[in-house]
Chain A
């Protein structure tokens, strides 16, 4: 049995970049700031490519919703081993309106159209930390979901997934087709290396708009304010233990 895997990859601000809040306090500065693929989505792509290498998957399709630059993210996925890409174009000025629910609707429609049997996405994006897309996509498709996956194994028409949960690890079985969200320890993503970077240039990226998939970007959420976390106060040095205890008592800590 050979599956087609659909993988969602989001273009986010690179995690090593220092984030700055916009003067209008409604978001962060993105202009001229270095972006890269959401690290959890890299893990998702890596897992899909490994499934292909193990001959469990027959094709890996990488999807990204965003402005023109989202194509760079898809190219990275292709250079890692995805077979083709789908770019759902959303103009830069409308990007702020894009919510997990919209992405879920888009992924669900694409999964049906492409006849995918497995959808893998990162567990959350490092910019909004929503952790909602995988779950809503599964609900829209009425498919089982295995979220926070740290291990994935295929067994006869089913997936055995180990999930990282608060209490430790939980192993579940889900029937295919299914939606999986990848957690940090699922794998270590490969770098896109030479022969693959060149092969990726020849792979196809299809373009479409959300409306082509019957999805409109009506807002359900409104951002009221974005602020920096409070700045850390300077510490004080004290001469001896007695002073330390007094200060702790005075500030109500003990």
Chain B
């Protein structure tokens, strides 16, 4: 039995924006049909990882009756087949065994549910779009799943201030399209936008492709309404840009991955939607050239730069081979994808072309193309956004999301790539170079525990040595909770545990996640 089974077609369906929670049964069938070497579901988290169930109650008939009376039979989902997709993550690394999924529509319902669960010691797993990368969005054992799928109302868009207020279950892409009507944009963009919920994004402090320009959610989220484990509703839903009155509690909920409270409503500061977006795709010979080019990028394109992404040759080769996409330029060891956003397309295009000529004349950039037409811009972005999908098609992908100082950025791939298992197909590095965040990914045809052991904990130790982060944007979830000490001091972890105990004395909110056991 393997830890991370091979999934082929299902992963590409998920990434193309199919809402996972909508078709769990179909998803299960895809898994079994498309995995040639096993017709079984993969192992449950309990049997394959070393984790003990906490002292929580089990869901009883009495509890189900309560939920059904509160929400109605349609919003209290039971049944193994219906819950299949909600008990498993899309990377096929974990599988829980919950028997009930709840779909509240309002903050009040969430409050009633949590109050009840707290009283009866029932563990709860909050779930948004279930697109997380660290097994944080699905139950570990039989936790009650609380889904935000039906909490998808946009409450208001203030066109003067650019603030949108909405419920936590709005799908990111839908929310972005909604505010687009007002000439605004959500300051967050990631590959999972067709499925992820804004509440989940905020609970995990999602990073993505535009952190470089718009900063992290800690900056762009103005207000949060969350429900504590006790059922108490904490209203920090201010939509003011400046409000220094007391402790800024919303930051506790941003990035704590649902362990301190369930986010139910949010207020986000939306920037103006740029009139003109251009991209450049560049080919470079060496990583030194990449770093030198990056310096020039910051200097010449600084004020219009909205994304600066990186990938190496193995990554693009995999994308081309597995997804049948074509690179716009010839083959080089390294590639950069730059995006500029501004109010005047002609100005930006001129700046980009000048930058390109300069770096080409200096011999730093060997080949490149610039696109301003939306269709071409989308084609080029696809090469970056679908990378993880391409990796999964190799069979099995082991991916590590780390933050490193720029000079060491690619060294992790070079150093660790030497020592890997013979069954490894590709060793790749790609990611948000503008943020110092690399996704180091290794693929193989079938899952092999020896491959995992050749990478972990070596990659975490390597990262720790250069004072990097072992999880730049993906969070800790279930899979990385015990590695927290590689990036956080004992004093910090101690205080985190104290805060958790204060806010959730029974530990019912998303247990087994984030903090080490």
Contact = CB atoms under 8 A, between A and B. Distances in A.
B415 interface: no
A191 B365 CA distance: 16
A191 B376 contact: yes
A16 B329 contact: no
Contact of B373 (A36, A188, A190, A198): A36
Nearest to A33: B374
Interface in B367-398: 367-378
A99 interface: no
Given A197-B353, A198-B357, A191 B371 contact: yes
Contacts of A191: 328-329, 369, 371, 376
Interface string B325-349: 0101110000000000000010000
Contacts of A39: 375
Contact of B365 (A188, A194, A198): A194
Interface in A19-44: 32, 34-36, 39
Contacts of A14: 373-375
Interface string A59-89: 0000000000000000000000000000000
Contact of A193 (B326, B367, B378): B367
B314 to A, nearest CB: 22
Nearest to B329: A193
Majority secondary structure of chain B interface residues (helix, strand, loop or mixed)? mixed
B28 interface: no
Contact of A36 (B329, B367, B375): B375
User: How many B residues are at the interface, by size bracket?
Assistant: 20 to 34
A136 to B, nearest CB: 28
Contacts of B371: 191
Given A193-B367, A194-B356, A194-B368, A15 B329 contact: no
A14 B374 CA distance: 7
Interface residues of A, number: 18
B374 A34 contact: yes
B483 interface: no
A194 B367 contact: yes
A206 interface: no
A192 interface: yes
A36 B345 CA distance: 13
B368 to A, nearest CB: 5
A46 B51 CA distance: 59
A14 B367 CA distance: 25
A158 to B, nearest CB: 31
B360 interface: yes
A192 B376 CA distance: 11
Nearest to A37: B373
Contacts of B372: 34
A231 B377 CA distance: 28
B369 A16 contact: no
A17 interface: yes
Contact of B326 (A188, A192, A198): A188
B42 to A, nearest CB: 32
A191 B360 CA distance: 17
Contacts of A34: 345, 372-374
Given A193-B367, A197-B353, A198-B357, A16 B378 contact: yes
B374 A17 contact: yes
A125 B372 CA distance: 20
B331 to A, nearest CB: 13
A66 to B, nearest CB: 16
Contacts of B356: 194, 197
A16 B367 contact: no
A197 B374 CA distance: 19
Nearest to A76: B373
B368 A36 contact: no
B374 to A, nearest CB: 4
A194 B354 CA distance: 11
Nearest to B359: A194
Nearest to B327: A191
B505 to A, nearest CB: 41
**Closest 3 CB pairs between A and B?**
A36-B373, A191-B328, A16-B374
Interface of A: 14-17, 32, 34-36, 39, 188, 190-195, 197-198
Given A36-B376, A194-B329, A197-B356, 15 more contacts: A16-B374, A16-B375, A34-B372, A35-B373, A39-B375, A191-B328, A191-B369, A191-B376, A192-B369, A192-B370, A194-B360, A194-B369, A197-B353, A197-B369, A197-B370
7 contacts: A14-B374, A16-B374, A16-B375, A34-B373, A192-B370, A194-B356, A194-B367
